[in-house]
């Protein structure tokens, strides 16, 4: 036989051909789907002869499961990083802002003008020192006190006296 000519294959029956196609399909799918890899691996571990016959498939399944596990661990690390980044960039500044605003209200109240320094009181003091205003206030107070005395006596006379006790 010359090395250039392919050797003739033995004819297989339909069942063996389909069986071989199924095993070839498993070789293709176990790399993409870890669920299939786990199922094929469980079947191969259950039957030692099948495992020996399809050792390459068994090893492909193990590799597929290992890669899937590594991918899940990597995705978990990335997820933790993104959550931490979100916490650092969004949540913590918002909580700090809320705390500052809560205390900021107290600061704003302290920044308001003092109630003891009411402008009307200052104006009254200034007017009290003015001579004309002091004279007008004194005459007003005299009129007010005489009116109060007259009102008090008028009120006393307006009260009806109790009738004598009826015997």
Q: What is the pLDDT of residues 89-111, one digit of tens each?
A: 999 999 988 888 888 777 877 88
Q: Residues 48-84: pLDDT tens digits? A: 999 998 899 999 999 999 999 999 999 999 999 999 9
| Residue scoring higher pLDDT (133 or 8) | 133
Report in angstroms the alpha-carbon separations of 130 from 64, 88, 117: 101, 65, 21
Q: How far apart are CA 7 and CA 29, in angstroms?
A: 29
Average pLDDT, rounded, for the chain: 81
Extents of the domains making up the chain: 14-94
Query: If 0-12 CB within 10 Å is exposed, 13-18 middle and 19+ buried, where does residue 163 land?
Result: exposed
Query: If 0-12 CB within 10 Å is exposed, 13-18 middle and 19+ buried, where does residue 97 land?
Result: exposed
* Contact between residue 48 and residue 55 where contact means Cβ atoms under 8 Å apart: no
Does the predicted TM-score (pTM) go above 0.85? no
């Amino acid at each position: 036989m010359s090395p250039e000519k392919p050797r003739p294959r033995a004819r297989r029956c339909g069942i063996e051909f389909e069986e071989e196609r199924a095993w070839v399909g498993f070789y293709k799918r176990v790399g993409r789907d870890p669920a299939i890899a786990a199922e094929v691996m469980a079947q191969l571990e259950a039957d030692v002869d099948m495992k020996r016959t399809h050792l390459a498939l068994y090893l492909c399944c193990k590799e597929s499961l290992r890669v899937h596990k590594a991918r899940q661990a990597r995705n978990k690390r990335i997820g933790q990083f993104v959550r931490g980044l979100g916490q650092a960039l969004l949540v913590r500044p918002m909580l700090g802002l809320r705390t500052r605003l809560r205390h900021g209200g107290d600061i704003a109240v302290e920044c308001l003008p003092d109630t003891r320094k009411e402008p009307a009181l200052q104006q009254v003091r200034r007017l009290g020192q003015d001579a004309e205003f002091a004279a007008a206030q004194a005459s007003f107070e005299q009129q007010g006190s005489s009116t109060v005395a007259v009102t008090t006596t008028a009120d006393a006379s307006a009260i009806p006296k109790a009738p004598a006790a009826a015997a």
